[in-house]
Structure 1
Amino acid sequence: MRLFTAVLPPPPVLTELAEAVDGLRGLPDADRLRWVGPEGRHLTLAFLGEVDEALLPDLRERLARAARHHPAFGLRLAGGGRFGDRVLWIGVEGDRTALRRLADSVTAAVRRAGVPTEDRPYKPHLTVARAGRTARRVDLRPYAAALGDFSGSDWQAREVVLVRSFLPSSGVPGEHPRYETLATWPLGG
């Protein structure tokens, strides 16, 4: 099964974000982007990829332990950016040090459970759109600039979530993955 761990912003924060993102749909080539819906908006802590189901009991125990070692902390979605012309994202402000420590702890727990993870620096962000796989690229610079002044409400990260991702299988262009929460652990136990 394909898994990742995340922190989920609360619904009012996602509503604020949706209003900002909806304003981007009038920009050139917006119809060529795959927009992430509210149900897919999260701050990934660690992407696990395909995980053998036999590893789940140990993985759950280790993730619960990691969550207990970190208190809740404050965040705010703010600013915009892009990864080349592939991904448009919203940035994160607030206690980024606590978020990075939590991501490091979760990644270590995942590895101790025998699950390999990506080995790259942690860049906290929330993906709002991806460019389609077409020959002609979409210039994401105007989108990132339009999100540059976005600043959402403060909120508390209070839990770690283990999520199963079901990749699109219909072949319909623009179809999004479907997510299922497998487990949730409160921060600070």
Structure 2
Amino acid sequence: MRLFFAVWPDNAARAALAQHAIGPWPRGTRPIRDDALHLTLAFLGDVDEAVLPALEALGAQLGQRCVPTRMRLAKFGHWNNGIIWAAPERTPKALTGLVAELRQGLAELGVESDTRRYKPHITLARRASHLPPLAPGAIVYPLDHLALVASEAGPTGQVVYRTLARWPLSGRKKRARSKPETPPLG
């Protein structure tokens, strides 16, 4: 099975991303369907189904430990490989922490994932020759869950994503410890 961990957009973020993804696109561009828009946290590639229970346990642990947050997608760009993307101006620390913990957990399970520096982005289109004008404005993208997703070939050859498991992020922010008050001398 081809697997990855991701965060799906909520309805408001999905609608805003889909609005940006309307184009007009350069000839030959393949926009991403709005039901396929997502933020990939870790791509695992082909994984033996026997590892699924361990991946689900990892997802559950991370869901309990990691803090929900939001990111503001305000950058749009085009890579030489034809990908048009949306990305945050600043990557939230909670997202960086989640990805680091996820990569560490995968390594402990012996599951390979990307080792390059994490650059969060949402793919809006493929096979684009250039970045067309896109609707201005930022998109708020909640990071409130973690999903284990299978990537499969659909009946007409397009890629279909199937969520195998999903965990809410329910960790709490660490509060700064306050120093106990020192009684006055005297």
TM tier, smaller = 0.7 to 0.9
- Is it true that 1:182 corresponds to 2:172 in the alignment? no
Between Structure 1 and Structure 2, how many residues are aligned?
A: 171
CA contact (8 A) 1:80 1:148 kept: no
Q: Output the CA distance in 1 between the equivalents of 2:94 and 2:15.
A: 24
- Taking only aligned residues, the RMSD between alpha carbons, in angstroms, comes to 2.0
Q: Match for residue 14 of structure 1?
A: 14
Gaps (5+ residues) in structure 2?
Answer: 172-186
Question: Between Structure 1 and Structure 2, whose CA radius of gyration is higher?
Answer: 2
Give TM-score, length-normalised by structure 2.
0.83
Q: Match for residue 149 of structure 1?
A: 136
Gaps (5+ residues) in structure 1?
Answer: 132-137
Give the C-alpha shift of residue 114 in structure 1: 2.0
Structure 1 residue corresponding to 2:146, chosen from 133, 156, 160: 160
- Bigger helix fraction: 1
Structure 2 residue matching 1:128: 3-state secondary structure: strand
> Quick one: percent identity of the two aligned structures?
34
Q: Output the CA distance in 1 between the equivalents of 2:109 and 2:46.
A: 14
Runs of 4 or more above 4 Å deviation: none
Deviation string, structure 1 residues 145-174 (Cα, Å, up to 9, x no partner)? x2483312x34311100000003575xxxx
CA shift in 2, pair 1:89/1:155, >3 Å: closer
Question: How does 1:34-53 map onto structure 2 within 5 Å?
Answer: 34-53=30-49
Q: Match for residue 139 of structure 1?
A: 129
Structure 2 residue corresponding to 1:67, chosen from 63, 67, 81: 63
Q: Output the CA distance in 2 between the equivalents of 1:17 and 1:88.
A: 12
Give TM-score, length-normalised by structure 1.
0.82
Structure 2 residue matching 1:184: 3-state secondary structure: strand
